[in-house]
Structure 1
Amino acid sequence: MSAGASVLPMRLDRGRQAAPQVFDHLRERILALDLKPGAVLSRVELMEQFGLSQTPIRDALLRLAEEGLVDIFPQHATLVSAIDLTHARQTQFLRRSIELEVVRTLALSADETVIAGLKANLARQHAMADTEDFQSFWALDQSFHRAMYEAAGVPDLWRLVRSRSGHLERLRKLHLPTPGKTVKIHSDHSLIVTAIAAHDPDLAQRHLRDHLSGTLGLIDTIRDRYPGYFRD
């Protein structure tokens, strides 16, 4: 599979450096599974598509390799990496450890403005939960968690977790279309916010732990459904 067949068109902002824009675009396509594990990313095709020289394309691919999202074989090919389950488990450990403290911090302060913002996000999630617009629901899920990091005063940790989450996010993306999954995510989020609003940090942590445990508990089922997408 070539890059040209799968990477959506993109207009570069000529006022910004090109390599970060190409990186962000390719990363989004990989996490959305538009570029599936094993897809070939041709430097020549990418240069033609973006109208760029080799250097920014190379730099973007090297950044993707640093996040483990592509495998670069010098003088041969660059492939979208298979989902690394060991990496996904470690990222889950990191994320759970941080977010347990995030929800505890929020529950101890229970700022009404923060709670109102989270509830507004929940309302949008509820409207999307019964549809098949998984991409829009995913964006709301991400913004919900990001808002909690920001409210807890640790936005840089969100960026850290995000930079480590490529394998875990693709695994979760494969699980998202499962019937009832979006409704369950909305329900989990609602329980977390209710516990935060009730100034109950222990309950907020309990609901968060339950929320983050679902996908990894179903790895065998997901692997059976998508053979060839994974490596241990």
Structure 2
Amino acid sequence: MKNHAHSSTVTRLDRSRHAAPQVFERLREMILSLELTPGTVLSRTELANRYGLSQTPVRDALMKLGEEGLVDIYPQHATVVSQINVTSALQAHFLRRSIELEVVRTLAEQRNAALIAQLRETIARQTELLDLKNYEQFSLLDQAFHRQMYEAAGVPQLWDLVRRLSGHIDRLRRLHLPVEGKTMAVVRDHAEIIDAIEHGDVEAAQAALRKHLSGTLNQIDQIRTSHPNFLADG
């Protein structure tokens, strides 16, 4: 265990919504972006003070993060941001690849011009970020690209399922994103997927998707070398 997450500033929540889901969403985002790195101790008292809450909604948020494997909860002791579990990452990848191969098949058979234009716009926005090294916004657009495909294929709830199970592989991808050439490869892969969908070429769309989703997993050894304390085999 290492540093605590400190903040003396009270973070305002939307009082029209329940507090626990908002705390969960904010902490999850901070963990996935690596603002809260593996090993960071999360104090229930400090979090309650930060969000201006009692400890009950904070406890509920931490328990939900624990269910996703993003924190380790030691009763009566501490809650710690978990290491990135490689086994969990591999299983999340398997699930996502299995679903998205069928998603791109469906889209290639449909060849929806409005969707293709929407996806190209997302790619264009990602391209604008390449020189800015704005990895956070780039990641959000990456998620938007894939979510748009799920929605167009008529399976938006499967996107929600994949997101819930992808915390470990999302953190691996976030570690990999700053590597030279990675963001450009993501944009290139997205363009190849859309080109194949536009041409109705199912095999090409699936091949481009397989290559796209495997990029980070092919670099696990290098990521482990660069961040030895962040990864666990599980």
CA distance in 2, matches of 1:4, 1:215: 31
Contact 1:118 1:144 in 2 (8 A): yes
SS in structure 1 of the partner of residue 40 of structure 2: coil
* Residues 107-118 of structure 1 aligned to structure 2 (within 5 Å): 107-118=108-119
* Residues 6-25 of structure 1 aligned to structure 2 (within 5 Å): 10-25=11-26
CA distance in 2, matches of 1:4, 1:15: 26
Following TM superposition, the consecutive aligned residue runs of length 4 or more in structure 1 with deviations greater than 4 angstroms are: none
- Residue type of the alignment partner of 1:34: E
SS in structure 2 of the partner of residue 209 of structure 1: helix
Identical residues among aligned pairs (%): 58
- TM-score, scaled to structure 2: 0.96
Contact 2:10 2:52 in 1 (8 A): no
CA distance in 1, matches of 2:122, 2:231: 32
SS in structure 1 of the partner of residue 144 of structure 2: helix
CA distance in 2, matches of 1:8, 1:86: 37
- TM-score, scaled to structure 1: 0.97
Partner of 1:4: 6
* Residues 148-187 of structure 1 aligned to structure 2 (within 5 Å): 148-187=149-188
Partner of 2:38: 37
Shift of residue 227, structure 1, vs aligned partner = 1.4
SS in structure 1 of the partner of residue 41 of structure 2: coil
Partner of 2:220: 219
* Residues 178-197 of structure 1 aligned to structure 2 (within 5 Å): 178-197=179-198
CA distance in 2, matches of 1:49, 1:134: 26
* Residues 26-65 of structure 1 aligned to structure 2 (within 5 Å): 26-65=27-66
SS in structure 2 of the partner of residue 71 of structure 1: strand
CA distance in 2, matches of 1:127, 1:50: 34
Shift of residue 131, structure 1, vs aligned partner = 2.4
Number of residue pairs matched? 231
Contact 1:104 1:201 in 2 (8 A): yes
Shift of residue 10, structure 1, vs aligned partner = 2.8
SS in structure 1 of the partner of residue 72 of structure 2: strand
- Residue type of the alignment partner of 1:162: R
CA distance in 1, matches of 2:116, 2:94: 26
Partner of 2:97: 96
5+ long unaligned stretches in structure 1: none
5+ long unaligned stretches in structure 2: none
Shift of residue 9, structure 1, vs aligned partner = 5.6
Contact 1:91 1:165 in 2 (8 A): yes
Shift of residue 130, structure 1, vs aligned partner = 2.7
